[in-house]
Structure 1
Amino acid sequence: MSSRARALAVCSALVLALLVTAAFAPLPYSIAYPGMTANVLGDDKGKPVITITGAATRKTSGQLRMTSIVATGPDASVHLPDMIKGWFRTDEAVMPREAVYPVGNNTEEIAEHNAQQMRESQNSATSAALGAVGKSAKDIKVKLSLADVGGPSAGLMFALGIVDKLNGDGAGKDLTGGRTIAGTGTITAGGTVGAVGGVPLKTQAAHRDGASVFLVPRKECTDAQAELPKGMRLIPVTTLDGAVQALKALQTGGKVPSCGR
Protein backbone atom coordinates (compact mmCIF):
# COMPACT_ATOMS: atom_id res chain seq x y z
CA MET A 1 0.00 0.00 0.00
CA SER A 2 1.36 3.41 -0.93
CA SER A 3 1.91 6.12 1.68
CA ARG A 4 -0.93 8.12 0.10
CA ALA A 5 -3.30 5.18 0.36
CA ARG A 6 -2.29 4.59 3.97
CA ALA A 7 -2.90 8.27 4.81
CA LEU A 8 -6.31 8.16 3.13
CA ALA A 9 -7.22 5.02 5.06
CA VAL A 10 -6.18 6.61 8.36
CA CYS A 11 -8.15 9.78 7.60
CA SER A 12 -11.21 7.74 6.62
CA ALA A 13 -10.97 5.76 9.83
CA LEU A 14 -10.72 8.97 11.86
CA VAL A 15 -13.74 10.51 10.10
CA LEU A 16 -15.73 7.33 10.65
CA ALA A 17 -14.76 7.30 14.33
CA LEU A 18 -15.86 10.94 14.69
CA LEU A 19 -19.19 10.21 13.01
CA VAL A 20 -19.81 7.22 15.24
CA THR A 21 -18.90 9.28 18.31
CA ALA A 22 -21.21 12.11 17.22
CA ALA A 23 -24.04 9.68 16.56
CA PHE A 24 -23.89 8.14 20.01
CA ALA A 25 -22.71 11.06 22.16
CA PRO A 26 -25.44 12.53 24.39
CA LEU A 27 -26.54 16.01 23.29
CA PRO A 28 -28.05 18.90 25.33
CA TYR A 29 -31.54 18.53 23.86
CA SER A 30 -34.88 17.07 24.88
CA ILE A 31 -37.50 15.38 22.72
CA ALA A 32 -41.04 16.62 23.40
CA TYR A 33 -44.37 14.99 22.56
CA PRO A 34 -48.09 15.87 22.83
CA GLY A 35 -49.10 15.40 26.47
CA MET A 36 -52.33 14.95 28.37
CA THR A 37 -55.27 17.32 28.28
CA ALA A 38 -57.84 17.84 31.01
CA ASN A 39 -61.30 19.38 31.06
CA VAL A 40 -61.13 22.08 33.74
CA LEU A 41 -64.94 22.07 33.94
CA GLY A 42 -64.93 18.39 34.90
CA ASP A 43 -63.22 16.04 37.34
CA ASP A 44 -59.66 14.80 37.65
CA LYS A 45 -59.07 11.53 39.50
CA GLY A 46 -62.51 11.74 41.09
CA LYS A 47 -62.26 15.36 42.25
CA PRO A 48 -63.64 18.50 40.60
CA VAL A 49 -60.85 20.48 38.95
CA ILE A 50 -62.57 23.71 40.02
CA THR A 51 -64.39 23.97 43.37
CA ILE A 52 -66.02 27.28 44.25
CA THR A 53 -67.49 28.19 47.64
CA GLY A 54 -69.19 31.40 48.69
CA ALA A 55 -71.13 31.89 45.45
CA ALA A 56 -73.68 30.03 43.34
CA THR A 57 -72.21 28.13 40.42
CA ARG A 58 -73.70 27.11 37.09
CA LYS A 59 -74.10 23.67 35.61
CA THR A 60 -71.96 23.78 32.49
CA SER A 61 -71.90 21.89 29.21
CA GLY A 62 -69.09 21.43 26.74
CA GLN A 63 -65.45 21.27 27.74
CA LEU A 64 -62.56 23.65 28.35
CA ARG A 65 -59.42 21.54 28.02
CA MET A 66 -56.00 22.63 29.22
CA THR A 67 -53.17 21.10 27.20
CA SER A 68 -49.64 19.98 27.94
CA ILE A 69 -46.52 18.46 26.48
CA VAL A 70 -44.24 15.75 27.85
CA ALA A 71 -40.51 15.59 27.26
CA THR A 72 -37.56 13.35 27.89
CA GLY A 73 -36.24 13.95 31.38
CA PRO A 74 -33.34 16.22 32.31
CA ASP A 75 -31.11 13.20 32.87
CA ALA A 76 -32.13 11.38 29.68
CA SER A 77 -29.56 10.88 26.93
CA VAL A 78 -30.62 12.25 23.55
CA HIS A 79 -28.43 11.30 20.60
CA LEU A 80 -28.11 12.48 17.02
CA PRO A 81 -30.37 9.73 15.57
CA ASP A 82 -33.10 10.74 18.06
CA MET A 83 -32.82 14.35 16.93
CA ILE A 84 -32.94 13.49 13.25
CA LYS A 85 -36.07 11.41 13.82
CA GLY A 86 -37.65 14.22 15.83
CA TRP A 87 -36.98 16.79 13.10
CA PHE A 88 -38.87 14.73 10.55
CA ARG A 89 -41.89 13.84 12.70
CA THR A 90 -44.84 16.16 13.29
CA ASP A 91 -45.67 14.58 16.65
CA GLU A 92 -42.22 15.19 18.13
CA ALA A 93 -40.15 18.32 18.67
CA VAL A 94 -36.45 18.74 19.34
CA MET A 95 -35.96 21.46 21.95
CA PRO A 96 -32.88 22.77 23.77
CA ARG A 97 -32.86 21.18 27.20
CA GLU A 98 -32.60 24.56 28.93
CA ALA A 99 -35.81 25.65 27.16
CA VAL A 100 -37.67 22.67 28.61
CA TYR A 101 -35.96 22.70 32.00
CA PRO A 102 -34.78 26.28 32.63
CA VAL A 103 -34.47 25.75 36.39
CA GLY A 104 -33.06 22.86 38.40
CA ASN A 105 -30.41 20.24 37.86
CA ASN A 106 -32.40 17.14 38.75
CA THR A 107 -35.90 15.72 38.61
CA GLU A 108 -36.77 16.70 42.19
CA GLU A 109 -35.74 20.35 41.80
CA ILE A 110 -37.59 20.65 38.50
CA ALA A 111 -40.75 19.05 39.92
CA GLU A 112 -40.75 21.50 42.84
CA HIS A 113 -40.20 24.46 40.50
CA ASN A 114 -43.06 23.35 38.24
CA ALA A 115 -45.36 22.79 41.22
CA GLN A 116 -44.60 26.31 42.49
CA GLN A 117 -45.32 27.75 39.05
CA MET A 118 -48.62 25.88 38.96
CA ARG A 119 -49.63 27.28 42.37
CA GLU A 120 -48.79 30.81 41.28
CA SER A 121 -50.67 30.29 38.01
CA GLN A 122 -53.75 29.07 39.86
CA ASN A 123 -53.70 32.11 42.16
CA SER A 124 -53.35 34.46 39.19
CA ALA A 125 -56.13 32.66 37.31
CA THR A 126 -58.45 32.98 40.30
CA SER A 127 -57.72 36.70 40.70
CA ALA A 128 -58.17 37.37 36.99
CA ALA A 129 -61.43 35.41 36.76
CA LEU A 130 -63.00 36.96 39.85
CA GLY A 131 -62.03 40.40 38.59
CA ALA A 132 -63.59 39.63 35.22
CA VAL A 133 -66.98 38.78 36.76
CA GLY A 134 -66.88 41.52 39.40
CA LYS A 135 -66.48 39.23 42.40
CA SER A 136 -64.27 39.61 45.44
CA ALA A 137 -61.79 37.06 46.72
CA LYS A 138 -62.88 38.05 50.22
CA ASP A 139 -66.27 36.46 49.62
CA ILE A 140 -65.46 33.64 47.22
CA LYS A 141 -62.95 30.85 47.60
CA VAL A 142 -61.71 28.88 44.61
CA LYS A 143 -59.83 25.59 44.86
CA LEU A 144 -58.11 24.22 41.78
CA SER A 145 -57.07 20.57 41.73
CA LEU A 146 -55.22 18.97 38.84
CA ALA A 147 -52.80 16.15 39.58
CA ASP A 148 -49.58 15.39 37.72
CA VAL A 149 -49.43 18.78 35.98
CA GLY A 150 -46.90 21.54 36.64
CA GLY A 151 -45.93 24.89 35.20
CA PRO A 152 -47.94 28.02 34.42
CA SER A 153 -49.41 27.22 31.00
CA ALA A 154 -52.90 26.22 32.20
CA GLY A 155 -53.60 29.69 33.62
CA LEU A 156 -55.86 30.90 30.81
CA MET A 157 -58.00 27.76 30.81
CA PHE A 158 -58.33 27.77 34.61
CA ALA A 159 -59.52 31.39 34.47
CA LEU A 160 -62.04 30.65 31.72
CA GLY A 161 -63.34 27.68 33.69
CA ILE A 162 -63.95 29.84 36.76
CA VAL A 163 -65.69 32.49 34.66
CA ASP A 164 -67.91 29.85 33.03
CA LYS A 165 -68.91 28.31 36.35
CA LEU A 166 -69.73 31.67 37.90
CA ASN A 167 -71.11 33.70 35.03
CA GLY A 168 -71.13 31.77 31.75
CA ASP A 169 -71.45 34.19 28.88
CA GLY A 170 -73.34 36.63 31.08
CA ALA A 171 -76.63 35.84 29.36
CA GLY A 172 -77.41 32.43 30.81
CA LYS A 173 -75.43 30.35 28.33
CA ASP A 174 -72.13 28.51 28.49
CA LEU A 175 -68.90 30.01 27.21
CA THR A 176 -68.24 26.79 25.32
CA GLY A 177 -71.53 26.75 23.44
CA GLY A 178 -71.45 23.00 24.08
CA ARG A 179 -68.17 22.61 22.15
CA THR A 180 -64.90 21.05 23.24
CA ILE A 181 -62.52 23.98 23.34
CA ALA A 182 -58.85 23.66 24.20
CA GLY A 183 -56.12 26.18 24.74
CA THR A 184 -52.98 27.28 26.50
CA GLY A 185 -51.43 30.42 27.89
CA THR A 186 -50.09 31.90 31.10
CA ILE A 187 -52.15 34.55 32.83
CA THR A 188 -51.48 37.42 35.21
CA ALA A 189 -53.76 38.53 38.02
CA GLY A 190 -54.75 41.42 35.75
CA GLY A 191 -55.84 39.05 32.98
CA THR A 192 -52.96 39.36 30.51
CA VAL A 193 -52.31 36.16 28.54
CA GLY A 194 -48.69 35.17 27.87
CA ALA A 195 -46.81 32.78 25.61
CA VAL A 196 -45.92 29.27 26.76
CA GLY A 197 -44.02 27.23 24.12
CA GLY A 198 -44.73 23.81 22.67
CA VAL A 199 -47.93 25.02 20.99
CA PRO A 200 -47.75 22.79 17.86
CA LEU A 201 -47.65 19.71 20.08
CA LYS A 202 -50.48 21.05 22.24
CA THR A 203 -52.77 21.56 19.24
CA GLN A 204 -52.17 17.92 18.34
CA ALA A 205 -53.02 16.81 21.89
CA ALA A 206 -56.18 18.91 21.72
CA HIS A 207 -57.22 17.43 18.38
CA ARG A 208 -56.56 13.91 19.67
CA ASP A 209 -58.90 14.56 22.61
CA GLY A 210 -61.78 15.95 20.56
CA ALA A 211 -61.27 19.71 20.49
CA SER A 212 -62.15 21.69 17.38
CA VAL A 213 -61.18 25.16 18.68
CA PHE A 214 -57.85 26.16 20.19
CA LEU A 215 -57.15 29.38 22.11
CA VAL A 216 -53.55 30.42 21.54
CA PRO A 217 -51.50 33.39 22.81
CA ARG A 218 -51.40 35.76 19.84
CA LYS A 219 -47.59 35.90 19.86
CA GLU A 220 -47.54 32.17 19.13
CA CYS A 221 -49.86 32.17 16.12
CA THR A 222 -47.07 31.32 13.70
CA ASP A 223 -45.92 28.39 15.82
CA ALA A 224 -49.48 27.12 16.18
CA GLN A 225 -50.07 27.23 12.43
CA ALA A 226 -46.92 25.20 11.69
CA GLU A 227 -48.41 21.77 12.39
CA LEU A 228 -52.09 22.64 12.84
CA PRO A 229 -54.33 19.55 12.69
CA LYS A 230 -56.96 19.54 9.96
CA GLY A 231 -60.23 21.06 11.12
CA MET A 232 -58.73 22.86 14.13
CA ARG A 233 -59.71 26.53 14.43
CA LEU A 234 -57.21 28.88 16.07
CA ILE A 235 -58.38 31.86 18.10
CA PRO A 236 -55.56 34.19 19.19
CA VAL A 237 -55.95 35.96 22.52
CA THR A 238 -54.00 38.52 24.52
CA THR A 239 -56.29 38.94 27.56
CA LEU A 240 -58.87 36.96 29.51
CA ASP A 241 -61.57 39.45 28.54
CA GLY A 242 -60.60 39.06 24.89
CA ALA A 243 -60.88 35.27 25.20
CA VAL A 244 -64.34 35.57 26.76
CA GLN A 245 -65.51 37.95 24.03
CA ALA A 246 -64.12 35.66 21.32
CA LEU A 247 -66.00 32.66 22.72
CA LYS A 248 -69.21 34.71 22.88
CA ALA A 249 -68.75 35.76 19.24
CA LEU A 250 -68.13 32.13 18.29
CA GLN A 251 -71.58 31.27 19.62
CA THR A 252 -73.45 34.18 18.10
CA GLY A 253 -71.78 34.24 14.71
CA GLY A 254 -69.99 37.48 15.44
CA LYS A 255 -66.49 38.45 14.40
CA VAL A 256 -63.98 36.02 15.92
CA PRO A 257 -60.26 36.88 15.90
CA SER A 258 -58.01 34.75 13.76
CA CYS A 259 -54.26 34.40 13.38
CA GLY A 260 -54.55 35.99 9.95
CA ARG A 261 -55.83 39.28 11.28
Structure 2
Amino acid sequence: MAIRLSRPRALALCALPVLALFGTAAFAPLPFTVAQPGSTADVLGDDKGKPVITIKGTPTRTTEGELRMTTILATAPTADVGVGDVVDSWFRTDRAVMPRDSVYPTGGSEKEIERHNLQDMEKSQNVAVDAALEYLDKKPGSVDVTLHLADVGGPSAGLFFSLGIIDKLVGNGSGGDLTGGRTVAGTGTIEADGTVGAVGGVSLKTQAARRDGATVFLVPKAECKQAEAEQPDGLRLIPVTTLTSAVSSLRALDQGGKVPSC
Protein backbone atom coordinates (compact mmCIF):
# COMPACT_ATOMS: atom_id res chain seq x y z
CA MET A 1 0.00 0.00 0.00
CA ALA A 2 1.33 3.39 -0.95
CA ILE A 3 1.42 6.02 1.78
CA ARG A 4 1.19 9.68 0.85
CA LEU A 5 3.31 11.95 3.09
CA SER A 6 2.96 15.65 3.60
CA ARG A 7 5.82 17.67 2.03
CA PRO A 8 7.40 18.75 5.36
CA ARG A 9 7.36 15.19 6.64
CA ALA A 10 8.78 13.84 3.38
CA LEU A 11 11.61 16.35 3.50
CA ALA A 12 12.32 15.47 7.10
CA LEU A 13 12.53 11.77 6.30
CA CYS A 14 14.80 12.43 3.30
CA ALA A 15 17.07 14.55 5.44
CA LEU A 16 17.64 11.81 7.99
CA PRO A 17 20.17 9.82 5.91
CA VAL A 18 22.03 13.03 5.06
CA LEU A 19 22.20 14.07 8.69
CA ALA A 20 23.38 10.61 9.62
CA LEU A 21 26.11 10.83 6.98
CA PHE A 22 27.28 14.20 8.30
CA GLY A 23 27.14 12.89 11.84
CA THR A 24 29.35 9.97 10.92
CA ALA A 25 31.73 12.20 8.93
CA ALA A 26 32.09 14.56 11.86
CA PHE A 27 33.87 11.83 13.79
CA ALA A 28 35.62 10.05 10.91
CA PRO A 29 39.14 11.05 9.81
CA LEU A 30 39.34 12.54 6.32
CA PRO A 31 42.15 12.14 3.72
CA PHE A 32 43.33 15.73 4.17
CA THR A 33 46.20 17.60 5.73
CA VAL A 34 45.88 21.01 7.38
CA ALA A 35 48.80 23.33 6.62
CA GLN A 36 49.85 26.70 7.98
CA PRO A 37 52.75 29.14 7.43
CA GLY A 38 56.01 27.50 8.46
CA SER A 39 59.50 28.71 9.20
CA THR A 40 61.76 30.70 6.90
CA ALA A 41 65.55 30.58 6.70
CA ASP A 42 68.07 33.06 5.34
CA VAL A 43 70.31 31.10 2.97
CA LEU A 44 72.89 33.89 3.22
CA GLY A 45 73.13 33.39 6.98
CA ASP A 46 73.66 30.59 9.48
CA ASP A 47 71.50 27.66 10.50
CA LYS A 48 72.12 26.15 13.93
CA GLY A 49 75.57 27.70 14.10
CA LYS A 50 76.70 26.68 10.62
CA PRO A 51 76.68 28.76 7.42
CA VAL A 52 73.92 27.63 5.11
CA ILE A 53 76.24 28.16 2.12
CA THR A 54 79.99 27.47 2.33
CA ILE A 55 82.12 28.08 -0.75
CA LYS A 56 85.78 27.07 -1.18
CA GLY A 57 88.15 27.39 -4.11
CA THR A 58 87.20 30.93 -5.13
CA PRO A 59 86.88 34.32 -3.39
CA THR A 60 83.50 35.15 -1.83
CA ARG A 61 81.94 38.46 -0.87
CA THR A 62 80.28 39.73 2.29
CA THR A 63 76.56 40.13 1.71
CA GLU A 64 73.87 42.37 3.16
CA GLY A 65 70.16 41.76 3.05
CA GLU A 66 68.52 38.35 3.27
CA LEU A 67 67.36 35.63 0.92
CA ARG A 68 64.71 33.69 2.84
CA MET A 69 63.47 30.33 1.67
CA THR A 70 59.98 29.58 2.97
CA THR A 71 58.13 26.50 4.21
CA ILE A 72 54.70 25.32 5.26
CA LEU A 73 53.95 23.37 8.42
CA ALA A 74 51.55 20.50 7.79
CA THR A 75 49.85 18.01 10.07
CA ALA A 76 51.57 14.64 10.17
CA PRO A 77 50.57 12.01 7.59
CA THR A 78 49.08 9.89 10.36
CA ALA A 79 47.17 12.76 12.02
CA ASP A 80 43.38 12.57 11.99
CA VAL A 81 41.74 15.51 10.24
CA GLY A 82 37.99 15.77 10.80
CA VAL A 83 35.16 17.85 9.43
CA GLY A 84 35.63 20.38 12.23
CA ASP A 85 39.23 20.97 11.18
CA VAL A 86 38.18 21.43 7.56
CA VAL A 87 35.37 23.85 8.37
CA ASP A 88 37.62 25.86 10.71
CA SER A 89 40.23 26.19 7.95
CA TRP A 90 37.64 27.55 5.51
CA PHE A 91 37.23 30.63 7.68
CA ARG A 92 40.94 31.29 8.28
CA THR A 93 43.50 32.81 5.93
CA ASP A 94 46.41 31.25 7.83
CA ARG A 95 45.22 27.67 7.32
CA ALA A 96 44.72 25.57 4.21
CA VAL A 97 43.20 22.14 3.71
CA MET A 98 45.19 20.12 1.20
CA PRO A 99 44.72 16.55 -0.06
CA ARG A 100 47.05 14.37 1.98
CA ASP A 101 48.47 12.81 -1.19
CA SER A 102 49.54 16.23 -2.48
CA VAL A 103 51.61 16.86 0.66
CA TYR A 104 52.82 13.31 1.16
CA PRO A 105 52.74 11.79 -2.35
CA THR A 106 55.09 8.92 -1.48
CA GLY A 107 52.92 7.51 1.30
CA GLY A 108 54.55 5.18 3.81
CA SER A 109 55.37 5.73 7.46
CA GLU A 110 56.45 9.05 8.92
CA LYS A 111 60.07 7.90 8.98
CA GLU A 112 59.89 6.81 5.34
CA ILE A 113 58.33 10.14 4.32
CA GLU A 114 60.95 12.06 6.28
CA ARG A 115 63.71 10.05 4.62
CA HIS A 116 62.21 10.73 1.19
CA ASN A 117 61.89 14.47 1.89
CA LEU A 118 65.50 14.68 3.03
CA GLN A 119 66.60 12.85 -0.12
CA ASP A 120 64.60 15.36 -2.18
CA MET A 121 66.32 18.21 -0.34
CA GLU A 122 69.77 16.72 -0.92
CA LYS A 123 69.05 16.25 -4.61
CA SER A 124 67.65 19.79 -4.82
CA GLN A 125 70.81 21.17 -3.21
CA ASN A 126 73.05 19.40 -5.70
CA VAL A 127 70.99 20.65 -8.64
CA ALA A 128 70.93 24.18 -7.18
CA VAL A 129 74.73 24.22 -7.07
CA ASP A 130 74.90 23.00 -10.68
CA ALA A 131 72.38 25.63 -11.82
CA ALA A 132 74.23 28.48 -10.06
CA LEU A 133 77.64 27.48 -11.39
CA GLU A 134 76.20 27.02 -14.88
CA TYR A 135 74.71 30.52 -14.68
CA LEU A 136 78.10 31.90 -13.60
CA ASP A 137 79.94 29.85 -16.23
CA LYS A 138 82.09 28.24 -13.55
CA LYS A 139 83.25 24.64 -13.56
CA PRO A 140 82.20 22.56 -10.54
CA GLY A 141 85.68 21.08 -10.23
CA SER A 142 87.29 24.41 -9.35
CA VAL A 143 84.57 25.55 -6.92
CA ASP A 144 83.47 23.56 -3.87
CA VAL A 145 80.02 24.47 -2.56
CA THR A 146 78.50 22.94 0.56
CA LEU A 147 74.89 23.56 1.59
CA HIS A 148 73.58 23.03 5.11
CA LEU A 149 69.99 23.47 6.23
CA ALA A 150 68.76 21.24 9.05
CA ASP A 151 65.21 20.02 9.66
CA VAL A 152 63.90 21.05 6.23
CA GLY A 153 62.90 18.57 3.55
CA GLY A 154 61.68 18.70 -0.03
CA PRO A 155 62.90 20.51 -3.16
CA SER A 156 61.23 23.91 -2.79
CA ALA A 157 64.37 25.79 -1.62
CA GLY A 158 66.25 25.08 -4.85
CA LEU A 159 65.86 28.54 -6.40
CA PHE A 160 67.02 30.29 -3.24
CA PHE A 161 70.07 28.10 -2.81
CA SER A 162 71.11 29.08 -6.35
CA LEU A 163 70.47 32.77 -5.71
CA GLY A 164 72.45 32.60 -2.48
CA ILE A 165 75.46 31.11 -4.24
CA ILE A 166 75.30 33.79 -6.93
CA ASP A 167 75.04 36.58 -4.34
CA LYS A 168 78.03 35.26 -2.38
CA LEU A 169 80.14 35.01 -5.53
CA VAL A 170 79.22 38.01 -7.70
CA GLY A 171 76.33 39.86 -6.06
CA ASN A 172 74.43 41.94 -8.60
CA GLY A 173 77.43 42.00 -10.92
CA SER A 174 78.08 45.70 -10.30
CA GLY A 175 79.61 45.59 -6.85
CA GLY A 176 76.35 45.52 -4.91
CA ASP A 177 74.17 42.88 -3.33
CA LEU A 178 71.69 40.85 -5.32
CA THR A 179 69.14 41.62 -2.62
CA GLY A 180 69.82 45.36 -2.72
CA GLY A 181 70.00 45.11 1.08
CA ARG A 182 66.35 43.99 1.26
CA THR A 183 64.80 40.94 2.84
CA VAL A 184 63.76 38.91 -0.18
CA ALA A 185 61.79 35.69 0.27
CA GLY A 186 60.30 33.16 -2.09
CA THR A 187 60.07 29.60 -3.21
CA GLY A 188 60.54 27.42 -6.27
CA THR A 189 62.26 24.26 -7.39
CA ILE A 190 65.25 24.51 -9.71
CA GLU A 191 66.51 22.41 -12.60
CA ALA A 192 70.14 22.21 -13.68
CA ASP A 193 69.30 24.37 -16.71
CA GLY A 194 67.86 27.07 -14.43
CA THR A 195 64.17 26.34 -14.95
CA VAL A 196 62.05 27.26 -11.92
CA GLY A 197 59.18 24.96 -10.99
CA ALA A 198 55.99 25.25 -8.92
CA VAL A 199 55.88 23.96 -5.35
CA GLY A 200 52.45 24.38 -3.72
CA GLY A 201 51.38 26.09 -0.51
CA VAL A 202 52.38 29.49 -1.89
CA SER A 203 49.60 31.48 -0.21
CA LEU A 204 50.84 30.25 3.17
CA LYS A 205 54.49 30.88 2.33
CA THR A 206 53.80 34.52 1.50
CA GLN A 207 52.38 34.95 4.99
CA ALA A 208 55.46 33.33 6.54
CA ALA A 209 57.66 35.63 4.45
CA ARG A 210 55.92 38.84 5.51
CA ARG A 211 55.84 37.72 9.14
CA ASP A 212 59.64 37.40 9.01
CA GLY A 213 60.22 40.80 7.47
CA ALA A 214 60.27 40.19 3.72
CA THR A 215 59.11 42.96 1.39
CA VAL A 216 59.68 41.03 -1.85
CA PHE A 217 58.53 37.51 -2.72
CA LEU A 218 59.75 35.56 -5.75
CA VAL A 219 57.03 33.16 -6.86
CA PRO A 220 56.95 30.61 -9.70
CA LYS A 221 54.90 32.33 -12.40
CA ALA A 222 52.44 29.43 -12.62
CA GLU A 223 51.46 30.07 -8.99
CA CYS A 224 50.85 33.81 -9.18
CA LYS A 225 47.10 33.52 -8.65
CA GLN A 226 47.59 31.42 -5.54
CA ALA A 227 50.09 33.93 -4.18
CA GLU A 228 47.72 36.82 -4.86
CA ALA A 229 44.84 35.07 -3.09
CA GLU A 230 46.20 35.86 0.38
CA GLN A 231 48.86 38.45 -0.51
CA PRO A 232 49.94 40.24 2.69
CA ASP A 233 50.12 44.02 2.75
CA GLY A 234 53.61 45.31 2.09
CA LEU A 235 54.78 42.24 0.17
CA ARG A 236 55.60 42.66 -3.53
CA LEU A 237 55.15 39.58 -5.72
CA ILE A 238 57.60 38.99 -8.56
CA PRO A 239 56.92 36.06 -10.92
CA VAL A 240 59.90 34.03 -12.11
CA THR A 241 60.31 31.22 -14.61
CA THR A 242 64.09 30.75 -14.64
CA LEU A 243 67.12 31.52 -12.52
CA THR A 244 68.11 34.14 -15.08
CA SER A 245 64.73 35.90 -14.81
CA ALA A 246 64.98 35.89 -11.00
CA VAL A 247 68.43 37.49 -11.06
CA SER A 248 67.37 40.01 -13.72
CA SER A 249 64.29 41.01 -11.72
CA LEU A 250 66.29 41.55 -8.53
CA ARG A 251 68.82 43.67 -10.42
CA ALA A 252 66.05 45.72 -12.02
CA LEU A 253 64.39 46.19 -8.64
CA ASP A 254 67.59 47.58 -7.17
CA GLN A 255 68.30 49.84 -10.16
CA GLY A 256 64.78 51.20 -10.55
CA GLY A 257 64.16 49.30 -13.78
CA LYS A 258 61.04 47.53 -15.02
CA VAL A 259 60.13 44.60 -12.80
CA PRO A 260 57.44 42.04 -13.71
CA SER A 261 54.50 41.53 -11.39
CA CYS A 262 51.79 38.91 -10.89
Superposed pair shares fold, TM > 0.5: yes
Q: 1:242 — aligned with what?
A: 245
Stretch of structure 1 that moved more, 143-152 or 19-28: 19-28
| Distance (whole Å) between structure 2 residues aligned to residue 131 and residue 151 of structure 1 | 22
* Residue 87 of structure 1: how far off its partner (Å): 1.4
**SS of structure 2 residue aligned to 1:138:** helix
* Closer, same or farther: CA 21–56 of 1 in aligned 2, 3 Å: same
**Contact 1:104 1:113 (C-alpha < 8 Å) held by counterparts:** no
Give the structure 2 partner of residue 169 of structure 1.
172
Query: Is structure 2 residue 110 aligned with structure 1 residue 107?
Result: yes
Counterpart residue identity of residue 139, structure 1? S
Gaps of 5+ in 1: none
Offset, 1:207: 0.3
Return closer, same or farther for 1:25/1:249 CA change in 2, 3 Å cut-off. Answer: same
How many Å apart are 1:16 and its aligned residue?
A: 4.2
- Using the TM superposition, give the Cα deviation of residue 104 of structure 1 relative to its aligned residue in structure 2, in angstroms: 2.6
After superposition, give the CA deviation of every residue in 1:20-73 in whole Å (9 maximum; x if it has no partner): 211111000000000000000000000000000001000000000000001011
Counterpart AA for 1:178: G
Match of 1:35 in 2: 38
**Which of the numbers 121, 125, 148 marks the counterpart of 1:118?**
121
**What code does the residue aligned with 2:209 have?**
A
- Which of 75, 79, 85 is equivalent to 2:78? 75
Runs of at least 4 residues off by over 6 Å: 7-13
**Out of 40, 47, 51, which is 1:48 matched to?**
51
C-alpha offsets along residues 67-126 of structure 1, whole Å, 9 cap, x if unaligned?
A: 000101110000011001111110000000000000032101111110111011101110
Once the two structures are superposed, what CA deviation does each residue of 1:147-190 show, in whole Å capped at 9, x if it has no partner? 00000000000000000000101111000010000010000011
Give the match for residue 156 of structure 2. Answer: 153
Structure 2 letter corresponding to 1:173? G
Question: What letter corresponds to residue 246 of structure 2 in structure 1?
Answer: A
For the residues of structure 1 that align with 2:18 and 2:156, how far apart are their CA atoms? 45
Secondary structure, in 3 states, of the residue corresponding to 1:68? strand
Q: 2:143 aligns with which of 133, 140, 143?
A: 140
Q: Whole-Å Cα distance in 2 between the matches of residues 124 and 22 of structure 1? A: 44
In 2, the alpha carbon distance for the partners of 1:164 and 1:38 equals 16
Matched, 1:203 2:206: yes
Seen in structure 2, the aligned counterparts of structure 1 residues 233 and 10 have a Cα distance that, compared at 3 Å, is: closer
Which blocks of at least 5 consecutive residues in structure 2 are unaligned? none
1:257 aligned onto 2:260: yes
* 1:212 is aligned to 2:221: no
Pair 12,250 (structure 1): closer, same or farther in 2 beyond 3 Å = closer
Kindly tell me the number of residue pairs found equivalent between the two proteins: 256
The CA RMSD measured in Å over matched residues stands at 1.7
2:59 paired with 1:62? no
Q: Residue by residue, what CA displacement relative to the aligned partner does 1:174-213 show, whole Å, maximum 9, x if unpaired?
A: 0001000001000001111000000000000000000000
Q: Percent same amino acid at aligned positions?
A: 64
Task: Provide the rounded CA distance (Å) in 1 between the counterparts of 2:231 and 2:13.
Answer: 49
CA deviation after TM superposition for structure 1 residue 135, in Å: 1.1
Q: CA deviation at 1:10?
A: 7.8
